[in-house]
Amino acid sequence: MAWIASPTELTTSITDAFLSIECIAILIYLWRSPTGDRWRVSLWCWAFGLLAFASLAGAVAHGLEMPNAFRAALWKPLYLTLGLLVALFLVGAFFDWRGRAVAIRLVPWAIGLGGIFLVVTQFLKGGFIIFVIYETAAMVSALAIYSFLAATHRLKGAAVVAMAIFLNLVAAGLQASSVSSKVFVPLDHNGIFHLVQMVGIATLGLGLRIGMKLDAKPGAGEPNRAAFDQLSAQPHWQPSQAKGIGNRLK
Protein backbone atom coordinates (compact mmCIF):
# COMPACT_ATOMS: atom_id res chain seq x y z
CA MET A 1 0.00 0.00 0.00
CA ALA A 2 1.20 3.52 -0.87
CA TRP A 3 0.80 6.75 1.05
CA ILE A 4 -2.35 8.65 0.19
CA ALA A 5 -1.93 11.56 -2.23
CA SER A 6 -4.07 14.11 -0.35
CA PRO A 7 -1.89 16.40 1.84
CA THR A 8 -4.68 17.00 4.36
CA GLU A 9 -5.45 13.29 4.66
CA LEU A 10 -1.76 12.67 5.23
CA THR A 11 -1.53 15.26 8.01
CA THR A 12 -4.71 13.82 9.52
CA SER A 13 -3.03 10.41 9.54
CA ILE A 14 0.10 11.83 11.19
CA THR A 15 -1.86 13.65 13.91
CA ASP A 16 -3.84 10.46 14.51
CA ALA A 17 -0.58 8.56 14.98
CA PHE A 18 0.72 11.15 17.44
CA LEU A 19 -2.58 10.96 19.33
CA SER A 20 -2.20 7.18 19.59
CA ILE A 21 1.32 7.54 20.99
CA GLU A 22 0.11 10.15 23.48
CA CYS A 23 -2.67 7.85 24.70
CA ILE A 24 -0.22 5.00 25.28
CA ALA A 25 2.07 7.35 27.23
CA ILE A 26 -0.83 8.52 29.43
CA LEU A 27 -1.98 4.92 29.92
CA ILE A 28 1.48 4.05 31.29
CA TYR A 29 1.49 7.26 33.36
CA LEU A 30 -1.79 6.31 35.02
CA TRP A 31 -0.96 2.62 35.43
CA ARG A 32 2.28 3.49 37.23
CA SER A 33 0.38 5.63 39.74
CA PRO A 34 1.41 4.31 43.19
CA THR A 35 -1.93 5.27 44.73
CA GLY A 36 -5.61 5.20 43.87
CA ASP A 37 -8.28 2.54 43.43
CA ARG A 38 -6.82 -0.06 41.05
CA TRP A 39 -10.21 -0.84 39.50
CA ARG A 40 -10.60 2.85 38.64
CA VAL A 41 -7.05 2.97 37.29
CA SER A 42 -7.73 -0.11 35.13
CA LEU A 43 -10.97 1.36 33.82
CA TRP A 44 -9.29 4.54 32.63
CA CYS A 45 -6.36 2.60 31.21
CA TRP A 46 -8.88 0.61 29.14
CA ALA A 47 -10.36 3.90 27.93
CA PHE A 48 -6.99 5.27 26.86
CA GLY A 49 -6.08 1.94 25.29
CA LEU A 50 -9.25 1.99 23.21
CA LEU A 51 -8.55 5.55 22.10
CA ALA A 52 -4.98 4.58 21.19
CA PHE A 53 -6.28 1.71 19.03
CA ALA A 54 -8.94 3.90 17.40
CA SER A 55 -6.34 6.58 16.63
CA LEU A 56 -3.96 4.01 15.15
CA ALA A 57 -6.75 2.58 12.98
CA GLY A 58 -7.66 6.13 11.94
CA ALA A 59 -4.04 6.79 10.99
CA VAL A 60 -4.10 3.75 8.70
CA ALA A 61 -7.49 4.62 7.21
CA HIS A 62 -6.53 8.22 6.47
CA GLY A 63 -2.91 7.71 5.49
CA LEU A 64 -2.79 4.75 3.11
CA GLU A 65 -4.25 4.10 -0.32
CA MET A 66 -6.46 1.02 -0.13
CA PRO A 67 -9.51 -0.51 -1.81
CA ASN A 68 -12.79 1.02 -0.71
CA ALA A 69 -14.02 -2.35 0.55
CA PHE A 70 -10.98 -2.69 2.81
CA ARG A 71 -11.39 0.88 4.10
CA ALA A 72 -15.07 0.26 4.85
CA ALA A 73 -14.18 -2.94 6.73
CA LEU A 74 -11.58 -1.02 8.76
CA TRP A 75 -14.18 1.47 9.97
CA LYS A 76 -16.29 -1.28 11.59
CA PRO A 77 -13.88 -2.13 14.45
CA LEU A 78 -13.04 1.56 14.67
CA TYR A 79 -16.69 2.49 15.31
CA LEU A 80 -17.03 -0.36 17.82
CA THR A 81 -13.94 0.90 19.65
CA LEU A 82 -15.22 4.47 19.72
CA GLY A 83 -18.63 3.32 20.92
CA LEU A 84 -17.07 1.36 23.80
CA LEU A 85 -14.71 4.23 24.60
CA VAL A 86 -17.49 6.79 25.04
CA ALA A 87 -19.55 4.36 27.14
CA LEU A 88 -16.60 3.52 29.41
CA PHE A 89 -15.89 7.22 29.82
CA LEU A 90 -19.35 7.59 31.32
CA VAL A 91 -18.71 4.60 33.58
CA GLY A 92 -15.59 6.36 34.84
CA ALA A 93 -17.60 9.49 35.54
CA PHE A 94 -20.20 7.50 37.47
CA PHE A 95 -17.43 5.82 39.46
CA ASP A 96 -16.21 9.20 40.66
CA TRP A 97 -19.75 10.38 41.34
CA ARG A 98 -21.57 7.34 42.75
CA GLY A 99 -18.77 4.93 43.61
CA ARG A 100 -17.32 1.62 42.52
CA ALA A 101 -20.43 -0.54 43.08
CA VAL A 102 -22.52 1.55 40.69
CA ALA A 103 -19.73 1.68 38.11
CA ILE A 104 -19.27 -2.11 38.14
CA ARG A 105 -22.99 -2.61 37.51
CA LEU A 106 -22.79 -0.22 34.56
CA VAL A 107 -19.94 -2.02 32.75
CA PRO A 108 -22.15 -4.66 31.00
CA TRP A 109 -24.54 -1.90 29.92
CA ALA A 110 -21.62 0.11 28.57
CA ILE A 111 -20.38 -2.85 26.52
CA GLY A 112 -23.90 -3.40 25.20
CA LEU A 113 -24.22 0.28 24.35
CA GLY A 114 -21.00 0.13 22.36
CA GLY A 115 -22.36 -2.83 20.39
CA ILE A 116 -25.67 -1.06 19.75
CA PHE A 117 -23.77 1.98 18.49
CA LEU A 118 -21.91 -0.20 15.98
CA VAL A 119 -25.16 -1.77 14.74
CA VAL A 120 -26.80 1.63 14.35
CA THR A 121 -23.89 3.00 12.33
CA GLN A 122 -24.04 -0.03 10.01
CA PHE A 123 -27.76 0.21 9.28
CA LEU A 124 -28.11 3.98 9.13
CA LYS A 125 -26.22 6.27 6.81
CA GLY A 126 -24.16 9.11 8.23
CA GLY A 127 -22.21 7.14 10.82
CA PHE A 128 -20.02 10.13 11.63
CA ILE A 129 -23.00 12.34 12.50
CA ILE A 130 -24.42 9.57 14.68
CA PHE A 131 -21.10 9.39 16.52
CA VAL A 132 -20.99 13.16 17.03
CA ILE A 133 -24.47 13.10 18.60
CA TYR A 134 -23.62 10.04 20.72
CA GLU A 135 -20.31 11.49 21.89
CA THR A 136 -21.74 14.94 22.60
CA ALA A 137 -24.57 13.53 24.74
CA ALA A 138 -22.10 11.43 26.77
CA MET A 139 -19.54 14.22 27.15
CA VAL A 140 -22.13 16.79 28.24
CA SER A 141 -23.31 14.32 30.89
CA ALA A 142 -19.75 13.70 32.06
CA LEU A 143 -19.06 17.45 32.09
CA ALA A 144 -22.08 17.99 34.36
CA ILE A 145 -20.86 15.25 36.72
CA TYR A 146 -17.29 16.55 37.03
CA SER A 147 -18.45 20.16 37.30
CA PHE A 148 -20.61 19.08 40.25
CA LEU A 149 -17.72 17.16 41.83
CA ALA A 150 -15.45 20.18 41.40
CA ALA A 151 -18.01 22.63 42.80
CA THR A 152 -18.64 20.46 45.87
CA HIS A 153 -14.92 19.62 46.37
CA ARG A 154 -15.70 15.92 46.43
CA LEU A 155 -12.86 14.86 44.13
CA LYS A 156 -9.46 16.41 43.62
CA GLY A 157 -8.70 16.97 39.97
CA ALA A 158 -12.40 17.12 39.01
CA ALA A 159 -12.05 20.70 37.74
CA VAL A 160 -9.13 19.66 35.53
CA VAL A 161 -11.13 16.71 34.16
CA ALA A 162 -14.08 19.04 33.49
CA MET A 163 -11.75 21.36 31.54
CA ALA A 164 -10.49 18.36 29.55
CA ILE A 165 -14.05 17.36 28.66
CA PHE A 166 -14.81 20.92 27.59
CA LEU A 167 -11.75 20.90 25.32
CA ASN A 168 -12.92 17.60 23.84
CA LEU A 169 -16.33 19.14 23.10
CA VAL A 170 -14.62 22.08 21.41
CA ALA A 171 -12.56 19.61 19.37
CA ALA A 172 -15.69 17.68 18.37
CA GLY A 173 -17.31 20.92 17.24
CA LEU A 174 -14.29 21.71 15.08
CA GLN A 175 -14.36 18.24 13.57
CA ALA A 176 -18.01 18.64 12.62
CA SER A 177 -17.25 21.97 10.92
CA SER A 178 -15.43 22.82 7.69
CA VAL A 179 -12.54 24.62 9.39
CA SER A 180 -9.09 24.26 7.84
CA SER A 181 -5.62 25.77 8.13
CA LYS A 182 -2.55 26.14 5.94
CA VAL A 183 -0.22 27.50 8.62
CA PHE A 184 3.01 25.43 8.57
CA VAL A 185 1.22 22.37 7.13
CA PRO A 186 -2.19 21.88 5.48
CA LEU A 187 -4.78 20.73 8.01
CA ASP A 188 -8.46 20.00 7.47
CA HIS A 189 -11.11 19.76 10.18
CA ASN A 190 -9.92 16.30 11.21
CA GLY A 191 -6.30 17.35 11.66
CA ILE A 192 -7.29 20.42 13.72
CA PHE A 193 -9.62 18.20 15.76
CA HIS A 194 -6.71 15.91 16.61
CA LEU A 195 -4.48 18.80 17.71
CA VAL A 196 -7.10 20.21 20.08
CA GLN A 197 -7.94 16.71 21.28
CA MET A 198 -4.30 16.06 22.15
CA VAL A 199 -4.38 19.04 24.51
CA GLY A 200 -7.64 17.77 25.99
CA ILE A 201 -6.31 14.24 26.43
CA ALA A 202 -3.17 15.50 28.21
CA THR A 203 -5.37 17.60 30.49
CA LEU A 204 -7.60 14.58 31.18
CA GLY A 205 -4.63 12.42 32.13
CA LEU A 206 -3.40 15.09 34.53
CA GLY A 207 -6.81 15.50 36.16
CA LEU A 208 -7.27 11.75 36.61
CA ARG A 209 -3.79 11.35 38.11
CA ILE A 210 -4.50 14.13 40.61
CA GLY A 211 -7.66 12.27 41.65
CA MET A 212 -5.64 9.11 42.24
CA LYS A 213 -3.57 10.60 45.04
CA LEU A 214 -4.09 9.24 48.53
CA ASP A 215 -5.52 12.50 49.78
CA ALA A 216 -8.09 12.72 46.98
CA LYS A 217 -11.60 12.60 48.39
CA PRO A 218 -13.54 9.37 47.68
CA GLY A 219 -16.64 9.33 45.55
CA ALA A 220 -20.08 8.87 47.06
CA GLY A 221 -20.41 5.46 48.68
CA GLU A 222 -16.66 4.74 48.47
CA PRO A 223 -14.62 3.99 51.60
CA ASN A 224 -11.74 6.21 52.58
CA ARG A 225 -8.86 3.92 51.63
CA ALA A 226 -6.22 5.85 53.53
CA ALA A 227 -8.27 5.67 56.73
CA PHE A 228 -8.71 1.92 56.34
CA ASP A 229 -4.98 1.39 55.74
CA GLN A 230 -4.13 3.46 58.79
CA LEU A 231 -6.57 1.48 60.95
CA SER A 232 -5.43 -1.93 59.75
CA ALA A 233 -1.78 -0.98 60.34
CA GLN A 234 -2.32 -0.68 64.08
CA PRO A 235 -0.31 -3.43 65.83
CA HIS A 236 -3.19 -4.79 67.93
CA TRP A 237 -5.93 -4.47 65.30
CA GLN A 238 -8.00 -7.62 64.92
CA PRO A 239 -10.66 -8.59 62.33
CA SER A 240 -13.15 -8.84 65.19
CA GLN A 241 -12.86 -5.07 65.54
CA ALA A 242 -14.47 -4.66 62.13
CA LYS A 243 -17.77 -3.77 63.79
CA GLY A 244 -18.14 -0.02 63.61
CA ILE A 245 -15.30 0.49 61.16
CA GLY A 246 -17.74 1.76 58.57
CA ASN A 247 -18.34 4.87 60.65
CA ARG A 248 -14.64 5.63 60.75
CA LEU A 249 -14.27 5.21 57.01
CA LYS A 250 -16.98 7.71 56.12
In the chain, where are the structural domains located? 7-225
> How do residues 17-31 score in pLDDT, each as one tens digit?
999 999 999 999 999
Mean pLDDT of the chain: 86
Q: What is the pLDDT of residue 126?
A: 65
d(CA 206, CA 231): 30
> How do residues 123-139 score in pLDDT, each as one tens digit?
877 677 888 889 999 99
Q: Which of 108-112, 171-175, 176-180, 242-246 has the weakest average pLDDT?
A: 242-246
| Residue 19: C-alpha distances to residues 24, 34, 196 (Å) | 9, 25, 10
Asked if 99 contacts 145 with a C-beta cutoff of 8 angstroms, the reply is: no
Regarding predicted confidence, which is higher, 214 or 22? 22
Residues whose CB is less than 8 angstroms from the CB of residue 23 and which lie 6 or more positions away in sequence, other chains included? 48, 49, 51, 52, 55, 201
At 233, the pLDDT band (50, 70, 90 cuts) reads very low
Regarding predicted confidence, which is higher, 101 or 74? 101
Q: What is the pLDDT of residue 31?
A: 94
Asked if 23 contacts 200 with a C-beta cutoff of 8 angstroms, the reply is: no
Residues β-bridged to residue 3: 64
> How do residues 154-211 score in pLDDT, each as one tens digit?
999 999 999 999 999 999 999 888 899 988 899 999 999 999 999 999 999 999 999 9
For domain 7-225, say whether CATH 2.30.110 is its number: no
CA 111 distance to own-chain centroid: 14
At 74, the pLDDT band (50, 70, 90 cuts) reads confident
Q: How far apart are the first and last CA of the chain?
A: 59
Asked if 81 contacts 54 with a C-beta cutoff of 8 angstroms, the reply is: yes
Q: What is the pLDDT of residue 245?
A: 42
Q: What is the pLDDT of residue 99?
A: 94
